[in-house]
Structure formats: C-alpha cells, structure tokens
Amino acid sequence: MTQTVEQTLPHWDLSNVYPGLESPEFQADMARLAELVTGLDAYFSGPVKDVPVDGDVQALAAVAEDLVERFNQVYVLAGTLRAYLTGFTSTDSFNALARRIESQYQVTAARLEELSTRLRAWAGSVAARLPEIFERSATARAHAFALQEAAERSRYLMSPAEESLAAEMSLNGGKAWAKLQGNVTSQLTVDFELDGEVRKMAMPALVNLRSHPEESVRRRGYEAELAAWASVREPLAAALNGIKGEALVLGRRRGRPDPLHQALEMARIDRETLEAMLDAMRDSLPAFRRYFKAKAARLGKEKLAWWDLFAPTGQSDRVYTWEETRQFILENFQSFSDDLAALARRAFDAHWIDAEPRPGKRGGAFCMGVPGVKESRVLCNFDGSLDQVSTVAHELGHAYHNHCLYSAGKTPLQSQMPMTLAETASIMNETIVQQAALARAASRAEELSILETALIGDSQVIVDIYSRYLFETEVFNRRAKAELSADEFCEIMRWSQVEAYGDGLDERYLQPYMWTWKPHYYSSERSFYNFPYAFGLLFGVGLYAIYQERGAAFVPDYRNLLASTGEDTAANLAARFGIDLRQKAFWAASLQVIAGRIDRYCA
C-alpha cells in the first residue's frame, strides 16, 4: 500500500479576505497601500524632518506617536495583501495574473521596506531621548521595545540614499532570485511509476515518497529526485550565488562583522546562547547515530541510505484520512486547552488549510497570518502519514500563536517576533500530538512506529539542521571569495551531511541537492534560517516538561508568553519560566528527553 490517501483534500478559502484578484475591493486596497506609503514618505520629509532631535520633547513624542500609528496601519494592510497574493502564488505558480500583481505589490513593499529603514534611523537619532518620549506618549510607551530595538539596529545602516537604492534593487536582485527558485522547484514534475501506473508527480509528492513503506519505491524516488534536481541545478546555483553575494555585500556595507550577526539580531539571542545550544547539539550526535544504526539494523542493513531516513518501521499500517486527522488533532488539543482546540476547529471548518499536493504548488509547509481579518492560513502537502498529521499540528501552532497576538490586541509593531520564538507554539503542538499517539499505541510494534515518526522529526531538526548550519557557514566563507559552481554546492552539502550524520549514514547515498529545494537558503534578508528550528524544538520540549509539572496552571502563562514574543528578548521571556538560555545545561536537558526516546526505540 502507499502512504497517499485517495481522497479530496481541502484547498484554502480566501474569499473573506477579498472576492478576487480583479475585485474592486482588492484593487482599492492595492491603491490605498500605495497612498499610505506615499503619505508616510511625505511625513518623513515634512514633520519628522522639521522637528530637531534636540528640540521640544513634546513635539518629538507627537512624531513618535504618529509614526507608530502610521506604520501599524500600513503594516496591517500590507500584510493582508501579501498573504492574499501568497495564497495564489504558493499554490499555483502558473497563475500569471497573481504573479504580475505580486510583482506590482513588491514595488510598493520595497518602498515600505525603505521607510522601515528610515524609522530605524530616526529611532537611532533620538535614542538618548526615548525615555523622555515614553513619559509623554502612552502610544510610544506601549511600543517601547520596538522603538528601542529599532534604535539599536540603526547602528547597522548605510546612508539613507544607499538604503533606498538597496531596497529598490532587491526587486531585481535577492527577491528576483528567490522567485526564480520558487517557480523552478514548484513547476518541476517527474514521470514516476507507482502501483503499476506512470504518474506525472509534482516534486512535493515525489519527496513524500521518502516515507513509503517499500524500499524499492523509496530508492527509485530518491534516484528520480537526484535526476530532477540535477536538471535544474544551474539556474538554482545562479540564484543561490546571487542571494548569498547580495547578503555579503549589504552586510559588509552596513558594518556587520559577518553574515551570522544579523541572524542573531533577528533571532534576539546572542552568540553565547547560540554556542551553548550548538555545543549541546554536537554532544547529542552520537545518540542520534545510535538511532540511525538501530534503524538500519531493523531494515536489515549495516548503514542507512538517504532514502531510508524517513522509512517507517514497526507494524503500523495506519494511514490517516483528512477527517481522522481533524478529529485526532482536535481531541488532543482539547486536552491542553479549550482555546487551542477552538482555534484548530475554526481552521478546519473555515477552510484555512490547503492540503493537496499538486503541480504549481510549493513543497513543504508554512503558516501565514492574515492581519486584516485576524486569521491565518496553513499550507501543507498531506499524504496520510503520522508525520503529516504532526505537520498539520505544527502549522496550527503558528496559527494559535497568531491568534494569541490578535486576541491580546497586539499591533504589528508589537508582534514582530524573532525566528527563534516563532517555533514555540508549533513545537508544543507537535509534542502534544506525538505524546497522544504514543499513549494510545495498541502494541509495542505500533509504539515503535510512532517513536520512529517522532525521531525522524527530531533528527531532522537537530542533526539535519546542524548540517544546514554548517553548509550555510561554509557557503558564505567561500562565496566571499568567488562564485560557487553547482558541483561546489553539492560538495559542501555532502561534507556537512557527513559531519552531522557521521557513520549513521552510508556516505555513498547522501542528498547533495538539498540546497536546491530548501527555500530557507534563498533569502538575502534572512540568512541562517536553520538554527531557529533547533532552538524552537529544544525550547518547546523544555516548556512541555514544565507543562507536565504544572498542568492547567501552565496554560495562561504560556498564552501570555506567546502574546509577548514581539516585545522582549528570548532570554528575558525564557527567564519567566526559570530558564537560562546561555547555560548549556538547559539545552542538554531537552536533548536528554529526546535521548530517552532513542533509548526506548533501541530497546
């Protein structure tokens, strides 16, 4: 049997956001966004410029208040339009109308990005007077963290003219390269024989075959993947070179010491915290290699090939229908809190989720907020496996996080959470579902199957994320000297996988083309979007341990934490629960929980 469920899977509904791409409502808001951005530009050129930084503090407070209110207004509208357009382009990259309008939107978004830079520059210019401003304006005081962070980040800005040029050029640079990667990978299809029938498979569906119960199918899927990625490697190598080159140039011109510096700033952690976590992750690698070897032995092998990493073990033939997925998630979310279950029920019933894999749809999964209607939308590529059930739960965690922010009345400037804490609710949801699946296992064989699913996810977020961190570090080091060939990208990817997986994998059968299809590499604005996943997993596991100790009393504090993730550093928010992120012991304790799963699996 296959892991694919033959059923009609849902597509998301965006009709309550706008009636259509050509509707008067959508077109009016596109025009309104341009007007708001133009007005904000004029405000910087007029009132902001007219009030000297050493002038009357009441006048400065009025400017701060106006800037906060104007940016919040424009961010709500821009975020809503962006999400609506993404709803089309991420599920149908063949939609020429959506792609054209998205291109128009990006021109305005680039202007808004430039204005956001000017906000940071202004906050930096009045940094010494911010305490006085907060005393005189309740609105500014409510956004104190955002303004103080903007002031701190202003230290790494080019001149206004250079920042303006960089924002405009990004449309033809980093953003254009990222769009190319998305279009190429989403439109790529492969003719593949499955169950005696040759099918034209989109790459997300082909990737899902990694968890097929039959090794022959997994291996043929792996070989088909390699051939498909090899066929498009040159344009994708050009895209990755362009994006990493742009990130290096802009970082250097802005005075940043290295590409990791901005990633740490965006994550709201320091190097000491990152090193503590990475050290603990490195120490845990032998345990994961023990798991890989145990899995290989179960499959009758000495070492795992790449196509076996996601192979199911145990004797669970369970394939979830969409309705079973819904019921399982709702039942177990209800055991955690009423509002988590209510949010998930709303997501299922109001068609917030797009689950069907199909040509033109991007791979993987994500959740996006739609601030104009205070909702979220979830994309996944559902195949009926427990892993995909966990993925749906994971993305609904992001939706719940958004819900906590919306319910608390947080503005966009109060909701700009770091990448590290963005994974907190999603990991908590995954853990809830995995623990529930283990608890209801009917046999040791089924328990083994569920442990397998959990450890596949854990090993991806610890071992594979570590390899991705090594890969991106080395790519930046080499790209600073020259462009890299597709062969060099593959070479670095193989090296990083060997460093992370060690003797747990058969070195003859790795995945050298991982760099082609992971969208996280293709952003000049967000480098190193890998370690935040490990942070999120280990922080979430640590929080779940606290939940087990405190029970229902934990939930209100947890909800408040999620609502506050845009208004403090990761270290300060963690300290609310007695966690010291700079101590390796915390990360090691969370990894020890995963090591316990490995022990149980090996037993």
pLDDT tens-place string over residues 357-377: 999 998 889 999 999 999 999
How buried is residue 172: exposed, middle or buried, by Cβ count under 10 Å (0-12/13-18/19+)? exposed
Bridge pairing between strands 353-354 and 197-202: unpaired
Q: Which of 377, 443, 414, 441 is nearest to 80 (CA)?
A: 377
DSSP H helical ranges for 417-485? 424-439, 444-459, 465-479
Measured over the CA atoms of residue 192, residue 208, residue 364 and residue 271, the dihedral's sign is negative
Phi and psi, residue 530, nearest 5°: -135, -55
Q: Does 25 or 53 have the greater pLDDT score? A: 25
Q: Using 50, 70 and 90 to split pLDDT, how confident is the model at 204? A: confident
Q: Looking at residues 269-298, what average pLDDT do you find?
A: 97
- In angstroms, the CA 257 to CA 76 distance is 33
The pLDDT mean for the chain works out to 94
Q: Using 50, 70 and 90 to split pLDDT, how confident is the model at 1? A: very low
**Looking at residue 2, what is its pLDDT?**
38
**Looking at residue 584, what is its pLDDT?**
96
* Lowest-confidence region among 127-136, 194-203, 243-252: 194-203
Q: Using 50, 70 and 90 to split pLDDT, how confident is the model at 397? A: very high
Which tokens sit at 146? 């955002």
Model confidence at 14: pLDDT above 60: yes
Model confidence at 3: pLDDT above 50: no
Beta-carbon contacts of residue 149 (< 8 Å; ≥ 6 apart): none
**For the chain, what percent of residues have pLDDT higher than 90?**
85
Flag whether the pTM goes above 0.75: yes
